[in-house]
C-alpha cells in the first residue's frame, strides 16, 4: 500500500468517489509511427500516432515520469523498449520500464515508490491473465488504484493491458464463435473500471458474440469492444471519449428481455433478446450507465 502518512484522505461515508485520474484503454496495434497500421492508406480518419500523442498530452507536471509495464508480454524486454522509444520520440525524456515477471517481483517495495512518482503508466499487450495473477492483491496494484482515485495520473493499457482494466475480465474465449455456453471464460480484472467488460481487437477478430455471452451472464455490466488503433479515454470514472481510426462497440444488456444462459448446459448455444448495440467513432462520447448508480465498497 502507498505510504499511509502521505495517502489522500478517503471520502466521507455515503459519498460517491469520482476518480481524479484518467484511463486510456487501447484496442491494440495502435500506430507508433512505424507504418504498421493496416488501414492507414484506406481510412481518411487515420492520424499518425494519434492515441499515444493523446497519452503524452494528458501527462501532468514538469519532466513527467512514464512507467512502462510489459508484464503481459512474452517478450517483455523488447515490448518495454518499443514503448520507451516511441515515448521518447514523442518528447517524453523520463521513461522507465518496470520489468515485473513474477509475484515476487511485484512485491518489491521500491515499485510502489516508482508508481507514486509516475505521471503516467502504460501496460503493454500480451496475456491479461498474467497481469491479474501477478498484480492482484499486491500493494503495488493498490498504489496504482490510489493514484487513479486521488491524483491526475493517466493509466493506459493496450490489448491485454486494456482488457485487464475492467471487471469482469474476459481472459479466454473462442474468437470465431463464443455462442456456445462455456466458450467464454471470465475472472476479476484489475478493477479500475467496475461493471464494465473490455475486449480488444474487437472487429478484426469477430468478438461481438463472445462479448454478448459475457454480458448475458450479468446484464448490469456494459461491454466495450475496442477495435485496433482505437481507444477510449475515461474521465471522472465514467465519461468516455473515443480516440482513433476505428470504432468502438458498446454492448448494453440492461434491457435484455429474455435469455436462456442460465437454463442451458455447457456446450449449448445461448440466446439473448433486447440487447442494445452502439457503434462510436473518433471524438464520440458515451457515459457508462453504471457510473450514476450507488457504489458499494
* Number of domains making up the chain: 1
Domain that holds residue 74: 22-289
- Is 227 labeled as catalytic in the residue annotation? no
Annotated catalytic residue: which of 146, 201, 227, 245?
A: 201
User: Does a structural domain hold residue 8?
Assistant: no
Q: Which tops the pLDDT comparison, 151 or 291?
A: 151
Cell of 53: 500523442
Q: What is the pLDDT of residue 263?
A: 97
Domain-embedded: residue 10 = no
**15 within some domain:** no
Residue at 183 is within a domain:
yes
Domain assignment present for 3: no
Nearest to 32 by CA among 100, 98, 83: 83
Q: Tell me what pLDDT residue 89 has.
A: 96
d(CA 186, CA 198): 11
For residue range 263-284, list pLDDT tens digits in order. 999 999 999 999 999 999 999 9
201 assigned to active site: yes
Tally of CA atoms within 13 A in the half-sphere of 54 that contains its CB: 25
**Res 271: pLDDT:** 96
Average pLDDT over residues 150-173: 96
Tell whether 5 is covered by a domain: no
Could you tell me if residue 120 is inside a domain?
A: yes
Strands 169-172 and 248-252: unpaired
| Any domain includes 180 | yes
Pick the catalytic residue: 228, 241, 245, 290? 228
Q: What is the mean pLDDT of residues 142-155?
A: 98
pLDDT band at 17 (very low <50, low <70, confident <90, very high): confident
Q: Is the peptide bond before 52 cis (omega within 30 degrees of 0)?
A: no
The per-residue pLDDT for 178 is 84
Please tell me the pTM assigned to this model. Answer: 0.91
Q: Which of 73, 159, 245, 290 is catalytic?
A: 159
User: d(Cα 129, Cα 78) in Å, to the nearest integer?
Assistant: 20
Per-residue buried b or exposed e for 256-275, using 16+ beta carbons within 10 Å of the residue's own CB: beebebeeeeeeeebebeeb
Whether the pLDDT of residue 12 is over 60: the answer is: no
Domain CATH code at residue 210: 3.40.50.880
Amino acid at each position: 500500500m502507498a505510504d499511509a502518512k502521505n495517502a489522500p484522505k478517503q471520502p466521507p461515508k455515503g459519498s460517491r468517489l469520482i476518480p481524479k485520474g484518467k484511463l486510456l484503454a487501447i484496442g491494440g496495434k495502435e500506430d507508433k509511427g512505424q507504418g504498421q497500421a493496416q488501414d492507414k492508406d484506406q481510412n481518411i480518419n487515420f492520424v499518425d500516432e494519434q492515441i499515444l500523442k493523446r497519452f503524452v498530452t494528458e501527462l501532468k507536471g514538469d519532466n513527467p515520469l512514464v512507467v512502462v509495464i510489459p508484464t503481459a508480454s512474452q517478450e517483455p524486454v523488447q515490448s518495454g523498449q518499443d514503448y520507451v522509444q516511441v515515448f521518447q520520440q514523442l518528447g517524453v525524456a523520463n521513461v522507465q520500464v518496470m520489468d515485473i515477471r513474477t509475484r515476487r517481483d511485484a512485491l518489491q517495495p521500491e515499485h510502489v515508490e516508482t508508481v507514486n512518482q509516475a505521471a503516467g503508466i502504460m501496460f503493454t499487450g500480451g496475456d491479461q491473465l498474467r497481469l491479474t495473477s501477478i498484480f492482484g492483491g499486491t500493494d503495488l496494484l493498490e498504489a496504482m488504484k490510489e493514484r487513479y482515485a486521488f491524483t491526475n495520473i493517466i493509466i493506459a493499457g493496450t490489448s491485454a493491458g486494456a482488457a485487464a482494466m475492467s471487471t469482469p475480465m474476459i481472459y479466454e474465449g473462442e474468437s470465431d464463435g463464443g455462442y456456445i455456453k462455456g466458450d467464454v471464460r471470465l475472472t476479476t480484472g484489475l478493477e479500475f473500471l467496475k461493471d464494465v467488460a473490455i475486449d480488444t481487437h474487437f472487429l478484426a477478430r469477430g468478438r461481438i458474440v463472445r462479448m454478448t455471452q459475457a454480458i448475458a451472464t450479468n446484464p448490469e455490466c456494459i461491454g466495450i469492444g475496442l477495435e485496433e488503433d482505437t481507444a477510449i479515454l475515461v474521465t471522472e470514472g465514467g465519461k468516455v471519449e473515443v480516440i482513433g481510426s476505428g470504432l468502438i462497440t458498446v454492448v448494453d444488456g440492461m434491457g435484455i428481455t429474455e435469455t436462456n444462459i442460465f437454463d442451458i448446459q455447457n456446450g449449448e448455444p445461448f440466446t439473448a433478446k433486447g440487447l442494445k448495440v452502439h457503434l462510436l467513432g473518433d471524438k464520440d462520447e458515451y457515459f457508462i450507465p453504471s457510473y450514476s448508480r450507488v457504489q458499494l465498497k
